[in-house]
Structure 1
């Protein structure tokens, strides 16, 4: 079980790093806009990064399941909808 936790922690850290890179590079612009919006309404930085990483994880999972390219338009739209997460109970 500890190996699963290590894998989960590694995945979360990797996704969070990817979000930090998006914020630093300014690409996509929705990343910084979303971060600023959530910060403005009182979210802590760590919580914002977790929410954004969750959206990235959903898109990566959907991309792999459907064997398709990354959907930047969906990703940016989902980021802008935060703190509301994409419907995870929808059929994929």
Structure 2
């Protein structure tokens, strides 16, 4: 859990966890914390991994941010995108 690109997104995840505009991020976070073997730091890293995956795909495909895809990735956690 030391990928600098993902670590750089942790402040954005912290903001999303507090924002009323992104309740689905907090829901995914709480779902992860309900798992016995997932700690807070790992849960935040998983959220950031999903955000990084969507940003990378957005850049590769030269398109805007796909909020529905991001929400879908979060809903699949703890499974991470490949």
TM-score tier after normalising by the smaller chain length: 0.7 to 0.9
Query: Which residue does the alignment assign to 2:41?
Result: 46
Runs of 4+ in 1 over 2 A off after TM superposition: 11-14
Q: Closer, same or farther in 2 for the Cα pair 1:26/1:14, shift >3 Å?
A: farther
Q: Which of 1 and 2 has greater Rg?
A: 1
Relative to the length of structure 2, the TM-score reads 0.88
Aligned mates of 2:21, 2:80 — CA distance in 1: 20
Relative to the length of structure 1, the TM-score reads 0.79
TM superposition shift of 1:28: 1.8
The count of corresponding residues between Structure 1 and Structure 2 is: 80
